[in-house]
């Protein structure tokens, strides 16, 4: 005589059918098949909610960009995945238009900075020197502070335009350009 496979037994403790069981017992079943079923159901629920949140986020960005275009404001654009930018590193990106070169710098776990790359003296491209806390312009030896984008040496008098950022859901978004005079 073969013994029943205990892993395949679905049995409620009080013998009443599954639908008559209280919710807490359905959520914490004692039979393994039921337990697996709940785990799969929870996983499916998690996937559906995550996908929904992602879809809502994309729709929100689309609506926000449409409203911004109507108001003549720069769009919201994803510029990098958080995991693609290690601490202490820099990447270039284009914002708000394809010909507008910018720099994204990650100085800490949660610290991000972004500026237009064009020097405010005569428009050469500045070079990030993260270890020295500065941007250097090779054309006329202009220097900008890395944390503020303000000029600290050489001919530039105006700060680098700052790109405002939003970091969420594992991605970094550019949300606008702050032109500054001092
Ligand atoms: S263009 Fe940058 S210092 Fe002159």
pLDDT of residue 179: 85
| 123 CA closest ligand 1 atom index | 1
The neighbouring-strand residues paired with 163 are 177
> Residue 174: is its pLDDT beyond 70?
yes
Whole-number Å distance, alpha carbon 116 to ligand 1 midpoint, is: 14
Q: Quick one: which H or E segment has residue 43? A: helix 32-71
Q: What is the pTM of this model?
A: 0.67
- Are 59 and 38 a contacting pair, CB within 8 Å? no
Model pLDDT for residues 36-89, shown as the tens digit of each residue: 666 677 788 888 998 998 888 888 888 877 877 777 788 899 999 999 999 999
| Tokens of residue 146, six digits | 């890395």
pLDDT of residue 129: 96
Mutate to test the pocket of ligand 1, among 134, 136, 142 (most ligand atoms within 8 A of CB): 142
Q: How far apart are CA 95 and CA 133, in angstroms?
A: 23
Cα 105 versus chain centre, distance: 14
Within 6 A (CB) of ligand 1 lie 119, 121-122, 124, 137, 139-140, 142, 154-156
Q: Quick one: which H or E segment has residue 174? A: strand 171-178
């Amino acid at each position: 005589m073969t013994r029943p496979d205990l892993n395949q037994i679905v049995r409620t403790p009080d013998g009443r059918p599954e639908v008559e069981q209280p919710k807490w017992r359905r959520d914490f079943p004692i039979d393994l098949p039921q337990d697996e079923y709940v785990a799969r159901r929870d996983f499916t629920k998690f996937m559906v909610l995550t996908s929904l949140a992602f879809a809502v986020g994309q729709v929100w960005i689309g609506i926000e960009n449409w409203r911004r275009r109507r108001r003549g404001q720069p769009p919201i654009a994803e510029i990098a995945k958080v995991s693609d930018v290690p601490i202490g590193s820099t990447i270039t990106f284009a914002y708000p238009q394809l010909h507008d070169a910018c720099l994204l710098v990650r100085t800490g776990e949660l610290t991000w900075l972004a500026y237009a790359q064009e020097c405010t003296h005569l428009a050469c491209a500045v070079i990030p020197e993260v270890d020295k806390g500065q941007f250097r312009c090779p054309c006329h030896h202009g220097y900008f502070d890395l944390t503020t984008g303000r000029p600290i040496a050489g001919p530039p008098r105006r700060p680098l335009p700052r790109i405002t950022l939003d970091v969420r859901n594992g991605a970094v978004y550019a949300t606008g350009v702050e032109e500054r005079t001092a």
